[in-house]
Amino acid sequence: MKTRNDNWLFYALLVLLIWLPIPLASNRPWAWAIIEVYSFSMFLSWVWIHSSQFDFKKLKPYAPLLVIFSLVQIWVFIQQLNLPIEWLQIIAPVQAEYFQAAGAQVGSLSFDPSITFVVWLKGCSYLAILFLTLTLTNSEKRLKQLVYTMIIVGVIQAIYGSLLVLTGTDHLFFTSKKSVGIATGSFIYKNHYANFIMMTLSLGVGMLVANLSISRRQNLKRTLVSWVDTLFSAKALLRIGLIMMVIALVMSRSRMGNTAFFAAMTFCSLYALVFMKNKTRGLIWLFGSLLIIDIFIVSSWFGLEKLKERLEATSAVAETRDEVVLYGLELVKQHPLTGTGAGSFYSSFQSIQGSGVKLFYDFAHNDYLQFAIEFGLPMTILLGFMVLWSFWHAQLALRQRRRSLMKGVGFAAMMAIIGQLIHISVDYTLQTPANAIYFIVILAMAWISRYLPATHRRSRKIKS
């Protein structure tokens, strides 16, 4: 896949990943417009560079991921099209009644076709980024650069968010926000910040696994010497970065963000210890240190007790998000196949909102529910299948690949996917562009870790 002309394009992708969280997680119309123009320009540049020399057979392993994501974008485009009322009466009678009441001769599957069109453009830019990630990340060197760029962004966000809390500063990029002792970095919402940190933390842990997963027969003395050597090497910088991100995650006071991270790390650590081949004793030391140092020592100095108090204080009386889920299920029953239209939750929810919900909800605070309401059950199931398929490839990379980098990236993708699947059950993190794109790139990494050919060193052939 690699050509001598596309280096600048790969680095342009890295620049985009660095930029994404800075302007309020790119969760403003002008910010996601920048993403769209930038990603579409990159895609057209890729086409111009590779139009006459790219071997599309090399994309065959990634075809299912690209096809599924493309089908979703095609469906969203169909949702916003103007259709005859007669057609809607057959396909989506509730929508037909809605548009007839407004005196319209045509209607759409979406209750708000204009916002669905906006979501479609955004989704197409995500698809372009997914395609560019899969085609440009064509060597181990580039895969490392991609992963470490995302980790560095996470560390910067962790330092920035922690400093804002520790100094009591209320400044954010592009806006101001009153400091309330909660880390949010350049994000507005603490749960989205915690989710972002969770994903970059997963990548960091994966790289530690990659650094320690090369099997060697060592006695205890050599193992300890190797471990001490690690503490004073460049790997120590990565470990320090992880500690900073754990501190920021705890200081975010995000209940499910912390729960998702520690649950995902625990599961993947045990899975790796049981199923990963050629593992070393260093991995056991690594997983033990992550749990002991991060949870019981570092976190206790930076707000773990406050997070515990917040978890204990949570009650069904104080929370109304469970009632939003109950009312939202009614929308799923009304529109099981076609959905209400991508991005239309804030308008469609008002039609069934009961007296138990006093606040205005523009999101469902549950991405499973929101996708089911807006996209319909078939597309939601298809998206879920895409994520689970990516998880399958990630765990295969961890279990079957010989290259330590592929094992580490597979571990990272597994951990991030599990954490995301847990977190979106109570929040809408995938509605934020920065989080959504980082997760899409991680899904791409799951497939890359499974299928990227091993780099040959000198004349020695290494099988994977």
Residue 140 near residue 403 (C-beta atoms within 8 A) = yes
Of the listed ranges 125-139, 179-193, 288-302, 373-387, the one predicted with least confidence: 288-302
Q: How many separate domains does the chain show?
A: 1
Mean pLDDT taken over the chain: 85
Q: Is residue 175 part of a domain?
A: yes
Residue 268 near residue 411 (C-beta atoms within 8 A) = yes
Q: Is residue 329 part of a domain?
A: no
Q: Is residue 1 part of a domain?
A: no
Residue 379 pLDDT > 70: yes
Residue 463 pLDDT > 70: no
Q: What is the b/e burial string over 405-437, where b = at least 16 CB atoms within 10 angstroms of the residue's CB? A: bbbbbbbbbbbbbbbbbbbbebbbbbbbbbbbb
Q: What is the pLDDT of residues 414-428, one digit of tens each?
A: 999 999 999 999 999
- Residues in Cβ contact with 430 at an 8 Å cutoff, skipping those fewer than 6 apart: 367, 420, 424, 436, 439
Q: What is the structure's pLDDT at 1?
A: 44
Residue 425 near residue 294 (C-beta atoms within 8 A) = no
Q: Is residue 331 part of a domain?
A: no
Task: For residue 273, name the pLDDT band (cuts at 50, 70, 90).
Answer: confident
Kindly state the tokens that stand for 64.
């299912």
Q: What is the structure's pLDDT at 317?
A: 42
Residue 180 pLDDT > 80: no
Task: For residue 296, name the pLDDT band (cuts at 50, 70, 90).
Answer: low
Residue with tokens 């930038």: 38
Q: Is residue 332 part of a domain?
A: no
Q: Is residue 223 part of a domain?
A: yes
Q: Percentage of the chain surpassing pLDDT 70?
A: 80
Residue 464 near residue 454 (C-beta atoms within 8 A) = yes
Residue 457 pLDDT > 60: no
Asked whether the CA dihedral 203, 205, 211, 215 is positive or negative, the reply is negative
Q: Is residue 348 part of a domain?
A: no
Residue 227 pLDDT > 60: no
Residue 150 near residue 438 (C-beta atoms within 8 A) = yes
Gyration radius from the chain CA atoms:
23
Domain holding 21, by residue range, is 7-48+61-315+365-451
C-alpha to C-alpha distance for 361 and 246, rounded to whole angstroms? 30
Kindly state the tokens that stand for 26.
């790119």
Q: What is the structure's pLDDT at 34?
A: 98
Label each residue of the chain as H, E or C: CCCCCCHHHHHHHHHHHHHCCCCHHHCCHHHHHHHHHHHHHHHHHHHHHHCCCCCHHHHHHHHHHHHHHHHHHHHHHHHCCCEEHHHHHHHCHHHHHHHHHCCCCEECCCCCHHHHHHHHHHHHHHHHHHHHHHHHCCCHHHHHHHHHHHHHHHHHHHHHHHHHHHHCCCEECCEECCCCCCCCCCCCCHHHHHHHHHHHHHHHHHHHHHHHCCCCCCCHHHHHHHHHHHHCCHHHHHHHHHHHHHHHHHHCCCHHHHHHHHHHHHHHHHHHHHHCCCCCHHHHHHHHHHHHHHHHHHHHHCCHHHHHHHHHHCCCCCCCHHHHHHHHHHHHHHCCCCCCCCCCHHHHHHHCCCCCCCCCCCCCCCHHHHHHHHHCHHHHHHHHHHHHHHHHHHHHHHHHCCCHHHHHHHHHHHHHHHHHHHHCCCCCHHHCHHHHHHHHHHHHHHHHHHHCCCCCECCECCCC
C-alpha to C-alpha distance for 440 and 132, rounded to whole angstroms? 11
Residue 443 pLDDT > 50: yes
Q: What is the pLDDT of residues 10-67, one digit of tens each?
A: 999 999 999 999 999 999 999 999 999 999 999 999 999 987 777 788 899 999 999 9
Residue 464 pLDDT > 50: no
C-alpha to C-alpha distance for 217 and 223, rounded to whole angstroms? 9
Q: Percentage of the chain surpassing pLDDT 90?
A: 58
Q: Is residue 339 part of a domain?
A: no
Q: What is the structure's pLDDT at 276?
A: 86
Q: What is the pLDDT of residues 104-124, one digit of tens each?
A: 889 999 999 999 999 999 999
